[in-house]
Amino acid sequence: MTTSTTVLQGSDLRQAMLGAASYMELYRDAANALNVFPVPDGDTGTNMLLTLRAGIEQMNKDSHLESAGDVAESIATGAFWGARGNSGVILSQLLRGFADGVAGSVTIETSDAVAAFRSATDSAYGAVSQPREGTMLSVIRGASDASIRANDAGERDVVALWQVAYDGAIEALAITPEQLPVLKEAGVVDSGGLGVVAIIGGALRHLQGDMGQAHDLGLRSMGNLIDPTQTSTVSIDSDFLDTHEESEFGYCTQFVIHGRELSVDVLRAGLDAIAESTVIIGGGSAVRVHVHTEDPGAALTFGVGYGDLDEVKIDNMSLQNRDWTTGHRERARPTEIRPGVSVVAVASGPGFAALFQDAGCAAIVPGGQTLNPSASEIIDAALSAGTTDVVVLPNNRNIILTAGQAAEADTEGVQLHVVNTRSMPEGTAAMLGFNPEISVTDNISSMDQAATSIETLEVTQAVRDSVVDGQQVREGQFMAILNGSLVALAADPETAVQDGLPHSSVDDHSIITLYWGEAVDEERATLLQETLESTYDGAEVDLYAGGQPYYPYLVSVE
pLDDT (tens digit, 9 = 90+) per residue, 231-251?
444 333 334 344 434 434 467
- 260 within 8 A of 67, measured Cβ to Cβ: no
> 461-496 pLDDT, tens per residue?
987 788 888 888 898 999 999 998 999 999 999 999
Residue 13's nearest CA partner among 111, 82, 141, 113 is 113
Alpha carbon of residue 37 to chain centroid: 15
What structural domains and CATH numbers belong to the chain? 10-230 (1.25.40.340), 246-326 (3.30.70), 338-452 (3.40.50.510), 455-557 (3.30.1180)
- The total number of residues shown for the chain amounts to 558
Query: If you average pLDDT over every residue of the chain, what do you get?
Result: 85
Mean pLDDT of 326-332: 40
In the chain, the percentage of residues whose pLDDT exceeds 70 is: 86
Give the Cα-Cα-Cα angle 190, 191, 195 (nearest 5 degrees).
Answer: 115
> 330-340 pLDDT, tens per residue?
445 666 889 99
Candidate from 2-6, 142-146, 246-250, 464-468 with smallest mean pLDDT? 246-250
- 96 within 8 A of 80, measured Cβ to Cβ: yes
Q: How many Å apart are CA 391 and CA 362, to the nearest integer?
A: 10
DSSP per-residue string spanning 61-95: HTTT--SHHHHHHHHHHHHHHH-BHHHHHHHHHHH
Identify the three-state secondary structure at position 414.
Answer: coil
Residue 537 pLDDT more than 50? yes
> Which residue(s) pair with 282 in the sheet?
287
Give residue 260's pLDDT band: very low, low, confident or very high (50, 70, 90): confident
Question: What pLDDT score was predicted for residue 319?
Answer: 47
Residue 390 pLDDT more than 90? yes
Question: What pLDDT score was predicted for residue 315?
Answer: 64
Give residue 127's pLDDT band: very low, low, confident or very high (50, 70, 90): confident
Residue 300 pLDDT more than 50? yes
> 498-525 pLDDT, tens per residue?
999 999 999 999 999 999 998 899 999 9
Question: What pLDDT score was predicted for residue 129?
Answer: 72
Question: What pLDDT score was predicted for residue 329?
Answer: 38
Interhelix angle 44-61/85-101, nearest 10 degrees: 40
66 backbone dihedrals φ, ψ, rounded to 5°: -115, -35
Residue 90's nearest CA partner among 127, 130, 141, 144 is 127
Question: Does this model's pTM top 0.85?
Answer: no
Candidate from 35-39, 313-317, 449-453, 528-532 with smallest mean pLDDT? 313-317
Question: What pLDDT score was predicted for residue 215?
Answer: 77
Q: Which residues contact 269 (CB under 8 A, 6 or more apart)?
A: none
Q: 53 or 269: whose pLDDT is higher?
A: 53
Give residue 186's pLDDT band: very low, low, confident or very high (50, 70, 90): confident
